[in-house]
Amino acid sequence: MDKFENFHFFYRRMGANLNEKDYLFHSQDFYVHSHDYFEIYMFHRGDCKYLLNNQIIQLHENDIIVMNGSALHGPAPNHNVPYERSVINFSPEWIRAIINRLNVPEILTPFNQLENILLRDICPKKFEEIQGLLKKIHEKQLTMMSHTELTIERRMLEGVTTTLLIELLFIIYELTKTQVVPVPTGRTTRLCR
């Protein structure tokens, strides 16, 4: 991880048969845990069950789980099937200070009041918007890695990355206002206005 300590993003990390050396993570990456960070987990593809609040959710392609991180959670992918996901973790204190300055504390409702939610069957237009934001954040993080010292360029990249995260939080907030698939129900609902 880089020095942007309040925000961590793992973009489209992949894995399959964990005995193969070509994959980016190992069996120790799959464990039940909790933390004091907010988390956005996006399941891209594979065969994976997800433990959240002592409930097991069978993930569907492009599911998004939004959680406050305090509940025990963790993926349990089938190791014989390629597994791909993206994960964003960020500090509640850090993001609250920014959100409060913007005077929009409501956009943290999915983490504060709902705590753990499943977004499923998001309409294609919104989903493409989310995917575009994730890709932009990833590109900025890659560029940030070449700026190890605190320079103007590094500060600008951190600012842009933070802005992209806030844009993502606005989208998630809007999706949760219309309808949410409560964890752990299997019901699916299209989330688009």
pLDDT band at residue 2 using 50, 70 and 90 as cut-offs: very low
Q: Would you call 157 helix, strand, or coil by DSSP?
A: helix
DSSP for 32-91, please give it: -B--SSEEEEEEEES-EEEEETTEEEE--TT-EEEE-S-S-EEEEE-TTS-EEEEEEEE-
Find tokens 């998630």 and name the residue. Answer: 172
What are the beta bridge partners of residue 8?
A: 89
**pLDDT tens sequence across 17-58:** 444 444 444 454 557 888 889 999 999 999 999 998 888 999
pLDDT at 147: 73
187 and 181 in contact (C-beta within 8 Å)?
yes
Residue by residue, what is the 3-state secondary structure of 115-156?
Answer: CEEEECCECHHHHHHHHHHHHHHHHHHHHHHCCCCCCHHHHH
Of the pLDDT bands very low, low, confident and very high (cuts 50, 70, 90), residue 181 is low
pLDDT score at 174: 93
| pTM for this entry | 0.82
User: What is the pLDDT averaged over residues 127-155?
Assistant: 88
Nearest of 82, 68, 64, 105 to residue 20 by alpha carbon = 82
